[in-house]
Structure 1
Amino acid sequence: MIDLNGRTALITGGGSGLGAAIALELAGAGARVILTGRDLEALERTAARLATPGRVEQVDVADPDSVGSLAERVRDETVSILVNNAGVAGPVAPLTEIAPEDWDEVFAVNVRGVYLLCRAFLPGMTERRSGDVINVASVSGKRPLTRRTPYCASKMAVIGLTSTLATEVGPYDVRVNTLSPGPVDGARMDRNFRLEAERGGTTYDEAKAAFVGRAALGRMVTEAEVGRAALAMLAMPGLTGSDVDLSAGMVA
C-alpha cells in the first residue's frame, strides 16, 4: 500500500491495543517506530513483535516536563509521523456524579496530551515542510454514549483540535487528521457485554447481538483493521483536516 522506509513514526500508547496494532502496521511498511507510554514492559513486548527495529521511551503525555524530556531524548530521530493514540476511558457515571478531578484526568490525557505532543514535534515537521499527524479520536465523540460525558467530550475536542491545526500547518505540507474507530472487538468490549447482560437480565450473547446489530456490517471492527486504516491514511497525500470513521457502519 505504501513504503515507509526512511520514515520514523512516534506512537503514544504503543504498548497495547490500538497503539500496538498501528505500530505493527507501520513497521510492516518499513517505518522505524518509536513506541511511547507509561508501561515500559508493555512497550518492550510490542517492540519485540515489530518487523523493523524499534525504540521504546517512557512518557506521561499529560505532563509537559515528561513530554519535553521525551522530545530531548529523541532529538537524534527525524520524526515525520506522529500518532497520538494514548487515552483513558474515564469514569462511567452520570455527569452530576463525576468528580472534577476525574473529569480533568480524562482531558489531561486525551486532549492535553495531543496538544503537548504536537507542540513538541510539529516544529521539526514544519521546518522540513513534511510530516503526518494522526490523532486517534472515537465515534463516541459524535454520538450519545450514556454515562460517558468526559470521554465523549474529550474525543470531540480532539476532532476540533485536528481540523483547526490542519489549517495552521497545511501551508508547510504537514497533514493532520483524526482516525475515529468504533467499538473494537476484544477484552474490553467483552467485559462491557457481561456487565450489560447483568444489568439487563439477559445473556452475554443477547447483549452482544443487540449491540453489534446497530452496525451496518453487524460486527465490530478489529485492532488490525484500525492499524491498516492508519496506514491507508498515510497513503493518501491529499488527506488533511479529515476525520475518518472506522466503525463497521456503527455511525453513518
Structure 2
Amino acid sequence: MSAGIAVPTGPATPLTGRTALVTGGGGGLGRAIAGALVADGARVVITGRDEVRLKETASRLGPNVAHRVCDVSRPEEVGSLVRGLADEEISILVNNAGIAGPVAPLTEITARDWDEVFDVNVRGVFLMCRAFLPAMAGRGAGDIVNIASVSGKRPLARRTPYCASKMAVIGLTTTLAAEAGPLGVMVNSLSPGPVAGPRMERNFRLEAERTGSSYAQAEQAFVSRSALGRMVTEEEVGEAVVAMLRMRGLCGADIDLSAGMVAR
C-alpha cells in the first residue's frame, strides 16, 4: 500500500456515505481492502488483535478510518465490538481476518493447530456475520464479503487446515446468501490466489525447508500453476472487493482472483 490514500473530493462514488467494517485490517490484505474502500468514498472501521498495527494503518489511511481491537474468534469480544459500534450504521462487512496455519502433512498436524485455524478462519466469519447481519436485515440492505481462497477449491499439499477452512467459508457464504438475500443483504465471497507479500514468503520458506528445495524453486512451483505466471497483489484484492460491491445483482457468488490459478 502506498502511504497516502486520497479521500475522493469530486462526484459521489457508489460507496459514498456508507460505513464498512473490515476484520484483520491492521495490515496486508485488510489494509489494502480498507484503502480501496476509503478511496471509493466509504468510512471504514478496521479491527484486529494488534492495536499498534491498527493505529498505524488508521493513521496512514486518513481521517475516514477508525479502529477497534477485536479477536473475531471470541464471542465476548465480538459482542463488545457490536456495542462499541452502536452509533455506526455498518452496511458493509468484509470478513478478512485469517491465519495461514501449519505447513505440514496431515499426520503431523495437531488438534490444537487445526482448531486455531478454524477458530479464526471459520468461527470468526460465523460470529461476525451473526453479530452484524440483524441490523442490515432490519434496514433491508447491506453487503457481506467473505475473503476465502482458491486453496479452498483445489488441492494444496501440506495445507489441510487452511484449505478446509476456506472451503468452509465458501459453503457458509452460499448458504447465508440464500438466507439473507431475501432480506436485502448481499453475501458473496472473494477467493484470491497467492497474494504477493509476507504470508506467501513464509509459506515458500517453509515449503522449501520441508521439501529440501530452494526458496526460488518453491515459489516457482507454486506460481507456475497460474495462467498469468504471477501472484496477485494486495491492491488488486482491494479493487476486487470494491468491484463486487458495485455489482448489485451479485449474491451467493464466489469470485476467483487468482491470475488464472483455478483455470489451470
In the superposition, the TM-score normalised over structure 2's length comes to 0.91
Instruction: Give the equivalent residue in structure 2 for 1:119.
Output: 130
Q: Does 2:33 align with 1:22?
A: yes
Any gaps of 5 or more consecutive residues in structure 2? 1-11
Q: Where does 1:1-252 land on structure 2 (aligned, <5 Å)?
A: 2-198=13-209, 202-252=213-263
Give the CA deviation at 1:187: 2.5
Is the Cα–Cα contact under 8 Å of residues 28 and 52 in structure 1 kept in the other structure?
no
State the Cα deviation string for residues 143-185 of structure 1 (Å, max 9, x = none).
Answer: 1111111111110000000000001011111100000000011
Write the distance in 2 (CA, Å) between the matches of 1:62 and 1:187.
Answer: 23
Q: CA deviation at 1:207?
A: 3.6
Determine helix, strand or coil for the equivalent of 2:61: coil
Letter in 2 for 1:85: N
Is the Cα contact below 8 Å between 1:212 and 1:220 reproduced in 2? yes
- Would the alpha carbon gap of residues 44 and 28 (structure 1) be closer, same or farther in structure 2, given more than 3 Å must change? same
Distance 1:68 1:53 in 2: 23
Amino acid of the structure 1 residue aligned with 2:81: L
- DSSP 3-state at the match of 2:60: coil
- Once residues 52 and 231 of structure 1 are traced to their aligned partners in structure 2, the CA distance between those partners, rounded to angstroms, is 19
What is the aligned-residue identity percentage?
Answer: 67
In 1: Cα distance, 2:210 partner to 2:107 partner:
21
CA contact (8 A) 1:24 1:51 kept: no
The worse-fitting range, judged by mean Cα deviation, of 191-200 and 223-232 is 191-200
Compute the displacement of 1:194 (Å): 4.0
Are the aligned partners of 1:27 and 1:52 in contact in 2 as well (CA < 8 Å)? no
8 Å Cα contact 1:34/1:54 also seen in 2:
yes
Aligned partners of 1:160, 1:247: CA distance in 2, in Å?
19
Q: How much is the aligned-residue C-alpha RMSD, in angstroms?
A: 1.6
Provide the TM-score with structure 1 as the length reference: 0.95
> More deviation in 42-51 or 152-161?
42-51
Instruction: Look up the equivalent residue of 1:48 and give its one-letter code.
Output: S
Separation of aligned partners in 1, 2:142 and 2:101 = 31
Q: Which amino acid in 2 is paired with 1:110?
A: N
Residue 65 of structure 1 aligns with an amino acid whose one-letter code is E
CA distance in 2 between partners of 1:57 and 1:81 (Å): 16
Q: State which drifts further: 154-163 or 85-94.
A: 85-94
Please report how far the alpha carbon of residue 52 of structure 1 lies from its aligned counterpart in structure 2 after TM superposition. 4.7
State the alpha-carbon separation in 2 of the partners of residues 95 and 83 from structure 1. 30
